[in-house]
Structure 1
Amino acid sequence: MTAAVEALAPWLPGLAGDFAKTAVLAGACVEWGGSPMALANVLPQRAAEAMMLNDLVPGCWAEAAPGRPEQVSASTKQLVQALVTLARSKGHPDTGDMTRIAMSWFDMEDWLKALITVLGHGPFRAAVPAEVKAELREYAAAVADRSQRAAWVRDLSNVLDDEPLVVLNPRARRGYALTMSGVGDNFQLHTLLADRLIGDSGQGMVPGVRPDRSWVEAATEADPYLGPDNPALRRFRIFDGHGAYVHPEGVPADIEPLDGTRVLVLHSPNGDYGMGVGRVFQNMIPTLNLDRVLGPDEAQFWLTRITPAVENDLMAS
């Protein structure tokens, strides 16, 4: 499978339209056990281009023909002909460029399918340059209103790896240093934090009820779907170091750092808030390591720097 991925990778930058299925094949080879690394320098860039071009289609179409093209009903030939005619009359972009723009209306989802698969692998994410990830976020945001996969690519390109966290328990005046990788959303982070930190207060841990083992497994490597009868319940409300509520529906990259470090402040849950899915990205296996319990002086240092929680959000109360 790795050899197949390596053979397919060089072809991807020049492909479009139906030939984008080649990227889907490469992604399938990764799902079947192949290494994704040969794709790191080609697939993210090609997927970013597809989203950028896809974003241009409605504007180009508005000049070329009335209405808006439908991804399901419009034919590739119809769209290409209309946009190429526009290119000839306007003189810019040229026919080749306009054909590629037209093809993106139909092939973008194939590029995104493959990219979602490989972005679940930590070494692959590490190999994608920061500027390419920024492009993925920018172009994905532009088309996320019409593509769920684009929204997933936006979030996957925002995933934090080897990210230090400081977590504070103000009631006990204690703190913890952790390292996080591959966590896809904040509710998943809630579950993993509860698993790592709730324990014997005499040993410096956070008092409380530990999460059910099935919730933790759904947040890591097991089937992520818990169903309505066994939702994962959060054990904390979490605020950042600036006092802002950390929404469970958000992603860890949304947490604003305090002096260069993401700081989380634990508060009591105030009622049940559950989620029937343990993790959003099934193929991305997270890690959250408790590196150490902070000493009293270090915990106090961080506790004096945080801003009190602003509890004005409905779900925070």
Structure 2
Amino acid sequence: MIEDFRGAIGAVADAAENQPSQLRAAVSAVFRLADRVPADTRIDGLAALTETLRAHRWSAGVAADLALLCGALVESGVPAGPAGVEVMSQLAEYGKLAGVFLHVWQKSGDDAPPHPSEVSEASEERVTPELEQLAPLATTGWWVSHRYGLAAKTMLTDSGVRAALREDPRTLGELIVIASQLRPYIEEYGEIAELLHMAEADRLVVLHRHSARVFRVRFDGVSDNFQLHTLLEDALIGDEGRAVPGRRPLPEWVASATDLQDDPRTSIVEGQWDLVGVDGTWVDREAGPGAVPVVDGERAVVLEPISLPHSWRTGRRHPHLTGWLRVEEELSPEEGAVWWSRAHASGSVVHPMLPAPPPPPAPAPGAPPLPAEPWGVPQAYQHDFVPPPVQDHGAPGHAAQGPAPDAGSPAPEPWGAPSAHGGAPAPVDDVPAHGTRGGTGGHRAGTPAPYDEWEAPATERTAPAPSDPWDAPAPPGGWGAPATESTVSAPPEPWGEPQDFREALAWEDPAAVPPPPPASWEEPQDFREAPAWENPAAVPPPPPASWEEPVVRSARSATAPGGSRPLGAVHMDPLPEGVSDSSGWGPSWKD
């Protein structure tokens, strides 16, 4: 069987050189025998086919069939090696021609181009007026684009091929452009585009904000940043990782992100970090690691405290690829300090669905500079403020905690309550030394008082106001009675005894009292009736008399099971199609 396989490989080379019409029959013989020979024999056969492929790269039909055969051997478990690199190189050349054909076809009409297997002489004639002598080559490039796509999709599953393209950024960039052009018309190029983006990155510098530690990691088989996030958690968190604080990912999450076969994608991963580029660029989890910005020659990401909780389904976008990530090294404090000096400020980037945080206030003129913020600890987390002790305000039954006020001097306003009698604040130089807030104490002389310590003198009072509302005497007529010229303003109701809002306003302006609410809370009041007392002419017509016949704008807001009206159906427009389906918020490939 081994000799038969080697003979079939030789027949392929001979047919490609001398009898191209017999090539497909020879290729079929290799297909039939490949699964019956050892892996070493297939590796030798692939190496021989690679030389034949290079020799006939510009015989378009021959090269495309040879590329398919090489891809079939790789699918059988043979490393792609030089054959994969050669297939991708030829795709870059023929793909450019296919892109030219597609561009001119779209300029000459609105119809879609023919499938590559259905290209005809009429197709070439359509692009000839624009391309002239280049028309045959461009048409040929479109004709072989599907077969090269099938071969390339297989070759890109090999990590060695992706690594070779990573070392050749120019070819990789050309292939990404070609794939983006052809993917709307040839299905295989959608997956090719994703695999090419996977080839963009295999190393990252990772800065963990909370611990201020910096790592350099390497990975492969990582198709998106959902998978990257899970693998980073597994590699860094806890004693099993690098002792980074956090919650270890569940074993099934890690298995799904690495090598789990037939993954049902039923588990829900809960994210612990925001991924932000060192330059402050938000890193989308739908994208791949190649979307992480490059800073000083390396891709670097900061693991920020999560600003908006989010989760996603487990699973790999390409289940046939094994994913892995390992920490190559932890940077020294000196090297880490260099990276933190390049990083954005802590807390300056949040989830795009949240409003951007306000910029920090500018320091006052002449104010000393703020101390340097320690690594990983946002200034908002440094609780420097120590609340002052609770002071007594002279209420009966409580011992005073400060010197008694001077006889005949007006009592200061209670804490934080503005003076109701006007009067300018006392000059700063006249404020006595700092003492208790309920007595004669004020702020230290010669310095401006803080905003909550201004105490304007009550110039029009004849007696100090009680500082405790619970101990104040009730006004004539009791609490809630309308105020007259001989009574003082009523204090608020005691806590725990709710007062109707109309009664609370009655002593201020009886004319402003709105009508009472509906007699029964079991008979809901439509929101359109609420402003009737303000402008009766603006009241729209009432809702339908029956809750079983609601006014709806789409089938999704129809009555709930049992014929009852959905809660809030009158007050809210129905949700758009698909919004109520939670999977609609996630990526389509994770459904």
* TM band (smaller chain): 0.7 to 0.9
Query: 2:123 aligned with 1:83, yes or no?
Result: yes
For residue 252 of structure 1, what is the amino acid of its counterpart?
P
The aligned residue for residue 69 of structure 2 is: 25
Aligned to 2:98: 54
Cα distance, 1:237 vs structure 2: 1.7
2:309 equivalent in structure 1: 271
Match for 1:186 among 203, 225, 239? 225
Look up the match of 1:245.
282
Counterpart CA distance in 1 for 2:110 and 2:337 is 64
- 2-structure distance, mates of 1:244, 1:232: 23
From 89, 93, 114, the counterpart of 2:133: 93
Question: Structure 1 residues 189 and 57 mapped into 2: Cα distance closer, same or farther (>3 Å)?
Answer: same
CA contact (8 A) 2:85 2:161 kept: no
Task: Say whether the 8 Å CA contact 2:57–2:63 is kept in structure 1.
Answer: no
- How many angstroms apart in 2 are the aligned matches of 1:301 and 1:176? 13
Q: Which residue of 1 aligns with 2:45?
A: 4
Task: Indicate the residue corresponding to 1:220 in structure 2.
Answer: 258
Q: 305, 310, 329: which one pairs with 1:292?
A: 329
Contact 2:204-2:216 within 8 A present in 1 as well: yes
* Greater fraction helix: 1
User: Residues 88 and 159 from structure 1, CA distance in 2 versus in 1: closer, same or farther, beyond 3 angstroms?
Assistant: closer
Q: 1:168 aligns to what SS in structure 2?
A: strand
Distance 2:311 2:261 in 1: 21
Give the match's secondary structure for 1:150.
helix
Name the structure 1 match of 2:194.
Answer: 155
1:174 aligns with 2:221: no
State the distance in 2 between where 1:50 and 1:123 align: 22
Seen in structure 2, the aligned counterparts of structure 1 residues 23 and 225 have a Cα distance that, compared at 3 Å, is farther
Q: 1:122 aligns with which of 159, 175, 189?
A: 159
Q: CA deviation at 1:65?
A: 7.2
Give the distance between the partners of 1:166 and 1:90, measured in 2 at CA: 49
- Shift of the alpha carbon at 1:295? 3.6
State the partner residue of 1:142. Answer: 181
Tell me, yes or no, if the aligned pair for 1:156 and 1:184 is still in contact at 8 Å.
Answer: yes
Normalising by structure 1, what TM-score?
Answer: 0.81
Counterpart in 2 of 1:281? 318
Unaligned 5+ residue runs, structure 2?
A: 1-41, 357-591
From 292, 297, 302, the equivalent of 2:339 is: 302
Q: 1:161·1:181 contact (CA, 8 Å) conserved in 2?
A: no
Q: CA RMSD in A?
A: 3.3
Considering fraction of residues, name the structure with more strand. Answer: 1
- The one-letter amino acid of 2:92's match is A
> Which segments of 5 or more consecutive residues in structure 1 lack a partner in the other structure?
none
1:80 positional shift = 1.9
State how far apart, in whole Å, the 2-side matches of 1:170 and 1:63 are.
52
| Structure-2 separation of matches of 1:264 and 1:89 | 51
**Is the alpha carbon distance of 1:8 and 1:265 closer, same or farther for their aligned partners in structure 2, counting shifts above 3 Å?**
same
Tell me if the contact between 2:214 and 2:331 (Cα under 8 Å) persists in the aligned partners. Answer: yes
Q: Deviations over 1:166-192 (max 9, x none)?
A: 222222222222223342221111111
Identical positions, percent: 25
Asked if structure 2 preserves the Cα contact closer than 8 Å seen for 1:122 and 1:161, the reply is no
Over residues 214-253 of structure 1, what are the superposed CA-to-partner deviations in whole Å (9 max), with x where a residue is unaligned? 22222222227342x2133333221110112111111111
Quick one: distance in 1 between partners of 2:282 and 2:130?
A: 50
Cα separation, 2, equivalents of 1:152 and 1:315: 32
- Check conservation: 1:236, 1:266, Cα contact below 8 A: yes
Shift in Å, 1:88: 6.5
Instruction: Determine which structure has greater relative contact order: mean sequence separation of CA pairs < 8 Å that are 6+ residues apart, divided by chain length.
Output: 1
| Matched position secondary structure for 1:26 | helix
Q: 1:173 to 1:218 in 2, by over 3 A?
A: same
CA 1:146–1:81: 2 relative to 1, 3 Å: closer
Q: 1:232 to 1:111 in 2, by over 3 A?
A: farther
3-state DSSP of counterpart to 1:157: helix
Letter in structure 1 aligned against 2:120: V
Contact 1:140 1:153 in 2 (8 A): yes
Q: 1:261 to 1:316 in 2, by over 3 A?
A: farther
**Structure-2 separation of matches of 1:83 and 1:58:** 11
- Tell me the equivalent position of 1:261: 298
Residue pair 2:277, 2:293 contacting (<8 A) in 1 also? yes
The CA distance in 2 between the partners of 1:123 and 1:145, in whole Å, is: 28
Judging changes above 3 Å, is the alpha-carbon distance between structure 1 residues 197 and 81 closer, same or farther for their aligned structure 2 residues? same
| Cα distance between partner residues in 2 of 1:316 and 1:258 | 26
